[in-house]
Structure 1
Amino acid sequence: MSNRSAISAVFAVHGAVAGTFATRVPWIEHRLGLGPTLLGLALLCPSIGAFAGMPMASRLAHRVGGRTATRGLLAAWCAVLALPALAPAPGWLFPAMLLFGVTSGMCDVVMNAHALTLERRLRRSIISGLHGLWCVGSLAAGGVGILAAHAGVDARLHLGTVALALLGAGVLAGRQLFPDRVAPGAPAPRRFALPGRAILAIGAVGFCGTFAEGASADWAAVYLTKVADAGPGLAAASFTIFMSCMAATRLAADRLVGRIGPVTLVRCGGAVAVLGGVLVVTARTPWQGITGFALLGVGVATVVPMVFAAAAATEANAGEGVAGVATITYLSGLTAPAVTGWTAGAFSYPAAFTMITCIVAMITVTAGALRPRTGTAGAGAPSEAASVPASSQGAGRP
């Protein structure tokens, strides 16, 4: 297995854990007798855990190396997958969900930083395709989870079995990751330092993309039902179509990065997302709405991979840059569904997605923050069209 194949498998396994868990939340809710308030608090715990864990991830990778950190944290997250279903009472569910979030967020940071280090070594973009494989892993595992739920399989058995299978796959992939080492004299990541202006600017691009992604994923089916009179099956299919369009775009985007550069790529994506938002806002038939959500998926698909790549190239420590923007994007994904719901309740569903369309329009304005910077510690390629950062520090790191 090559280094590229190994990190690809890591991303697919990470996505599969997320997709598997999402399908069994209703089972956990029913078993523990959770009301909407308790369920909402439980589902908030992973985000809180991720916020707590992300600042520690880059320091761990700096201390033990990216490969070791990625292997250990991926194994931990696979193992933690089974814990929420094993909780005997709500009081046990909350710490299990917090731990789920901590391991998820930390693994997210270190595997992206490790992937971007490999990207520098290869001198070509691979990060978008890796995020596409994350989507593929999530969709495939989600499909298996839906079948298990319909068949009435106990979630403890389902999640435990999948956790073992994904743990094995993650261990095999982790063994083939390249052995990156911290360069002598490399600065250690800071503890809970405020992001600099460059990271905040990059994070703003990510915030806009992730806001639209989170709102669309959570509200597409409801929107189509309430506004476009879609049936339950067609409304439910909108999420799969949205995620499939994101996955396909991410898998194809690495070739475009080398040709047109990250700024132009993300700006074009923002324009496509605006078109999708307009179709959603004006939709009064199911297929126009589904087309709009599909274009939203295509438009925002490349934002997070390009934001991570730009952040890694901006900071002297790639993991610190990734952790900074990942925290911002997690905040966006956390707030987007709630803000969308509040806006829809106060005004209307079309008004809520008019707001989202305005937010994705900001992607085209702020995308310049992703332009590679020459002369910075982790930085970049000499021109916008260059595919990956190629500094002497990045290229020479073993």
Structure 2
Amino acid sequence: MTSRPSGGTTPRPPWQTPEYRAIAVVFVLHGAVAGTLATRIPWIQDRLGLSPAVLGFALLCPSIGAFTAMPTASRLAHRIGERRATRLLIALWCGAIALPALAPAPVFLFAAMLLFGATAGMSDVVMNAHAVSVERHLRRSVMSGLHGLWCVGSLVAGGIGILAAHARVDARLHLGLVAAVLLAAGAAAGRGLLHVRPAPEAPAPRRFALPTKAVLGIGLVGFCATFAEGASADWTAVYLTEVGDAGPGLAAASYTIFMSCMAGTRLAGDRLVRRLGPDRVVRCGGVVAVLGGVLVVASRAPWPAIAGFALLGVGVATVVPLVFAAAGDLGATPGEGVAGVATITYLSGLTAPAVTGWTAGALSYPAAFGLITCVVAVMTVTAGALRPRGGGTSAPASEPAEGALR
């Protein structure tokens, strides 16, 4: 059995434990893969001569692949174990980054992007489920910080990708080298992941884990947060250009500011959760996000709009990590709970950019972000769904809620 802090001693900070460091590296790697590919899409489009419509379908394929494959992830984790499933799927995800650049024709690109999305979604589910197990083991909130590290990995890898693109490095070479480095780092980190044995009385996850009724309320909170996050990330630069009359450089910088605010808030989020509890953190964040949305809608100049997007990022930053943690505690297994709520959040992320664009086209950009502000208000009102139910990580517990850790 893994040693646990005794009642009379102060637990070590999470970063001093090998199991936390291992899962932290996994989150960084997952973010790095996402951030790297995003920078080389123009190279792939130019090499294959893709029209905007064909490229749009190619960029939709990862979401389709993830949405289809994610509900099966908890079953795989149950069959081979969380630790092995996390190691396997993060390796597949890191390796899959090289495939889109190797595609010789659009049809092969579609297949590569579908596979890329499937490995992304399944690895997302199992690593978040494993993070729930680590939270139970450490008996303290760590999920927000892990998602903050995901943002850091994405931003750093994206910066490297921008430099590679600027230097006109062939994307096949760039993505191949990144895949090799990340695979090696993932293999090293995987050895430190926690061993988790399901409790003998725990039922096997369903083959296709759709959300249960217990998860739906939590999923609604996650849906609203992901909707605001996805719409803001995809449309902030366009909004600054069309409404704020910002130049290309400032418009592009607005995305980096938004993501940096999210990353910083997530890295600090676990301390807030330990003091206030997840429901209060989400409710306070919702108020901040609503204020940010109002500022965006009212702004007709670049800097007030950027400030509004920054507040939106701060307000929704901790929600998805806390939604995953709460769902992992409610499911029959952590993986099944996470898979159920992840299906909802991915659906939100898939629809948010399109709904925002349709609303902006039919009405206006401020009207579209008025809708997003209303969605965030719903998130604020429903935050009580994240209130700990006895075994949650924000409440004291003498033992992990499920399984034996060794």
- TM-score band by shorter chain is over 0.9
1:292: which partner in 2?
308
Contact 2:74–2:336 (CA under 8 A) maintained in structure 1: yes
TM-score, reference length from structure 1: 0.96
2:296: which partner in 1?
280
2:245 counterpart SS class? coil
Within the alignment, does 1:252 sit opposite 2:260 as a pair?
Answer: no
TM-score, reference length from structure 2: 0.94
Within the alignment, does 1:380 sit opposite 2:392 as a pair?
Answer: yes
Name the CA distance, whole Å, in 1 between partners of 2:398 and 2:172.
Answer: 47
1:193 Cα deviation after fit: 4.9
1:196 Cα deviation after fit: 2.1
1:394 counterpart SS class? coil
1:191: which partner in 2?
207
Within the alignment, does 1:205 sit opposite 2:221 as a pair?
Answer: yes
2:36: which partner in 1?
20
Within the alignment, does 1:351 sit opposite 2:367 as a pair?
Answer: yes
Name the CA distance, whole Å, in 1 between partners of 2:338 and 2:396.
Answer: 15
Contact 1:199–1:324 (CA under 8 A) maintained in structure 2: yes
Contact 1:121–1:394 (CA under 8 A) maintained in structure 2: no
Name the CA distance, whole Å, in 2 between partners of 1:339 and 1:388.
Answer: 41
Name the CA distance, whole Å, in 1 between partners of 2:147 and 2:400.
Answer: 26
2:241: which partner in 1?
225
Contact 2:326–2:386 (CA under 8 A) maintained in structure 1: yes
Deviations 1:336-389 (A, max 9, x none): 000000000000000000000010011111111111223xxxx436xxxx3577
Which among 76, 86, 110 is matched to residue 60 of structure 1?
Answer: 76
Name the CA distance, whole Å, in 2 between partners of 1:3 and 1:227.
Answer: 47
Within the alignment, does 1:338 sit opposite 2:354 as a pair?
Answer: yes
Name the CA distance, whole Å, in 2 between partners of 1:203 and 1:370.
Answer: 10
Q: What pairs with 1:1-398 in structure 2 (closer than 5 Å)?
A: 2-374=18-390, 379-380=391-392, 386-387=394-395, 393-394=401-402, 396-398=404-406
1:184 Cα deviation after fit: 2.2
Deviations 1:92-145 (A, max 9, x none): 111100100110000000000001101001000000000000000000000000
AA aligned opposite 1:223: Y
Name the CA distance, whole Å, in 2 between partners of 1:308 and 1:140.
Answer: 24
Contact 1:120–1:395 (CA under 8 A) maintained in structure 2: no
AA aligned opposite 1:77: W
Name the CA distance, whole Å, in 2 between partners of 1:395 and 1:233.
Answer: 51
Identity of aligned residues (%): 72
Contact 1:259–1:387 (CA under 8 A) maintained in structure 2: no
Number of paired residues? Answer: 390
Structure 1, unaligned runs of 5 or more: none
Contact 2:72–2:209 (CA under 8 A) maintained in structure 1: no
1:185 Cα deviation after fit: 3.3
Contact 1:313–1:389 (CA under 8 A) maintained in structure 2: no
Name the CA distance, whole Å, in 2 between partners of 1:217 and 1:333.
Answer: 10
Contact 1:12–1:137 (CA under 8 A) maintained in structure 2: yes
Q: Identify if the C-alpha distance between structure 1 residues 5 and 317 changes in structure 2 by more than 3 Å, giving closer, same or farther.
A: same
Contact 1:180–1:397 (CA under 8 A) maintained in structure 2: yes
Q: Identify if the C-alpha distance between structure 1 residues 368 and 147 changes in structure 2 by more than 3 Å, giving closer, same or farther.
A: same
AA aligned opposite 1:380: G
1:63 Cα deviation after fit: 0.8
Name the CA distance, whole Å, in 2 between partners of 1:32 and 1:55.
Answer: 33
Deviations 1:321-344 (A, max 9, x none): 000000100000010000000000
1:394 Cα deviation after fit: 2.9
